[in-house]
Amino acid sequence: MTETKQHPVHEQDRLTVTFNDLSSDGAGVAKVHGYTLFVPGALPEEQAEVEVTKTKKQYGFAKLIKTLSASDRRVDPPCELYDRCGGCQLQHLSYEGQLDFKRKQVQDAMTRIGGLTDVDVNPTLGMDHPWTYRNKASVPVAKRDGEFIAGFYQKRSHHIIDMDHCLIQSEDNDEVIQEAKRIAKDCGIEPYNEETHKGILRHIVTRTGNQTGEIMVVLVTKTKELPFRKRFLKELPQKFPGIKSIAHNINPKRTNTIFGDETRTLWGRDLIYDNIGDIKFAISPRSFYQVNPEQTKVLYDKAMELAELNGEETVIDAYCGIGTISLFLAQKAGQVYGVEVVPEAIDDARANAELNDLDNVSFEVGQAEDVIPRWYKDKGIQADVIIVDPPRKGCDEALLQTMIDMQPKRVVYVSCNPATLARDLRILEEGGFKTQEVQPVDQFPQTTHVECVSQLVLK
C-alpha cells in the first residue's frame, strides 16, 4: 500500500515565514520545507506570521497575520478600501518597487517559458504620476440593507463595495458617477439584482477624453425604458459642461456582461473624441479604447521606434482593433494594412482613418491567419514589418507560421501577457527570427498587469 505524502503545513497552521519573491498576481512567495505558500499583502525580504487557509498538492495559500520585519519598499496604501477592493494589488509596494517587479516578471517569463536566456529586458517605463489614469469606469449598482450603492467588486467576489472615489480613476469619472448615483437614488430607481434578475439599473459607465476633456455617460438598464430620464438629461450636463454624450444601453439578459446589444443616444452626440499624440479617435459607448492614453503613447512611440520606418515600408497590423497602432504607424509608413475579426472594430478603424485624413491605411474583417496569406497570394502584398497586439492568449499558431513564411524584415510584438509573449517569441526564433529588445511599459500602475513591446529581426 502506497503511503500518501503529507503536506508540511495544514490549514489553520500558524507559521513564521520569510518571503523571497512575488507571484505574477502580486502575492508574497514563501517556502516551508520546499512547499510553496502564497500570501497576499506580503513582500520579498519580509518576515511575517501567517495562517494557512488552503492547501493543494504542490502549493498552498495563507493570510498575513503580522509583519515581523518590513521591506524598505513597503508603503502605506493611500486607498482606505485597498484591503477589500479587487481593483489594485500593489498599492503596498513603492512605485519604484512595482516597476522592478514588472521587469522581473517579464525577465522570468523569457527565461523559464521562452528559454530565451540571452534576451535582456529593459527597465519598465513608468508614469510620473501613477494615479487617476483610467479614462473609463464601469460601476455596478445594487441595493444593500435598503440602501442604493455603487462601487467596485470585492476581491474574488461579486460583492459590491460602495465607494465615492477611486484613486486610479479619472477624477471626472468619479464625480460624474457620484452625481448619476445621487439622481438614481433620489428618484428611487431600483438597482438590478444579479441573483433574482429583477430591478432596473445595472451599471453606470463613464468615458473621458484625456486630451479633449470630453465626457460620455452610459446608463445600462435591464429594461427598455430608463425611468426619470429627463432628470439625468437635465442635471448631468448642467453640472458637468464636459459631458458631450449621454447614452442608454439595454441589457435584458441574465449575464455578467456589462453591455447589451442595443444602445441609444439620449442627449448630445453619439461619440466623444480623444487624441493619442497627433492621432484623433472617435469613441462610441462600446468602442475599445486604451484606458491609459498617456502610457499608450509611450507604448506606441516605442513600437514606432522598433518598427524603424522610413516612409517606404509596407506594414501589416495583424490584430488592428479600432486601428490605434495602425494609424500611429501610418504617419511614417508607406502603406499599412490592418486586419481584425470584429466587424464593429473595423468600422471604427475606417472611420478613424477618415477622421485623420490618412489614405495610406486600409482595413479588412477576418482572421489574420486567413487574410494575410490571401493578401500575399492574390494581391502580392509583402510586409516589411508585421506588428501584432494579440489578446492575453497570444498569437494563433497559424498566424505565427504565416509570419515565419512571409519573412518580414522585422516583427514588432505588443503583449499584455509576459507568459504567452515568451512562448511566441520562442516559436518565432525557431522560425528564423532573433529577439532584439523587450521593453515593459506600465499601463496599469498599482496593479500586477504589464504591457511589453518587443522587436524581432529576420536572421
pLDDT at 292: 97
pLDDT digits (tens, 9 = 90+) for 93-110: 999 999 999 999 999 999
Task: Kindly indicate the confidence band of residue 4, based on its pLDDT and cuts at 50, 70 and 90.
Answer: very low
Q: Which of 79, 320, 395, 416 is catalytic?
A: 416
* Three-class DSSP labels, the chain: CCCCCCCCCCCCCEEEEEEEEECCCCCEEEEECCEEEEECCCCCCCEEEEEEEEECCCEEEEEEEEEEECCCCECCCCCCCCCCECCCCCCCECHHHHHHHHHHHHHHHHHHCCCCCCCCECCCECCCCCCCCECEEEEEEEEECCEEEEEEEECCCCCEEECCCCCCECHHHHHHHHHHHHHHHHHCCCECECCCCECCEEEEEEEECCCCCCEEEEEEECCCCCCCHHHHHHHHHHHCCCEEEEEEEECCCCCCCCCCCEEEEEEECCCEEEEECCEEEEECCCCCCCCCHHHHHHHHHHHHHHHCCCCCCEEEECCCCCCHHHHHHHCCCCEEEEEECCHHHHHHHHHHHHHCCCCCEEEEECCHHHHHHHHHHHHCCCCCEEEECCCCCCCCHHHHHHHHHHCCCEEEEEECCHHHHHHHHHHHHHCCEEEEEEEEECCCCCCCCCEEEEEEEEC
Q: pLDDT at residue 242 above 80?
A: yes
CATH number of 14-69: 2.40.50.140
Domain boundaries, the chain: 14-69, 104-128+292-458, 136-278
Q: pLDDT at residue 61 above 70?
A: yes
CATH architecture for the domain at 136-278: Beta Barrel (2.40)
Q: pLDDT at residue 212 above 60?
A: yes
Is 187 catalytic? The answer is: no
**Percentage of residues in the chain having pLDDT higher than 70:** 99
pLDDT digits (tens, 9 = 90+) for 139-165: 999 998 889 999 988 877 788 999 989
Q: What is the mean pLDDT of residues 16-42?
A: 95
Q: What is the mean pLDDT of residues 69-85?
A: 94
Q: What is the mean pLDDT of residues 389-416?
A: 95
Mean pLDDT of the chain: 94
CATH superfamily of 104-128+292-458: Vaccinia Virus protein VP39 (3.40.50.150)
Q: pLDDT at residue 391 above 60?
A: yes
Same CATH topology for 14-69 and 136-278: the answer is: yes
pLDDT at 376: 87
Q: pLDDT at residue 5 above 60?
A: no
Q: pLDDT at residue 266 above 70?
A: yes
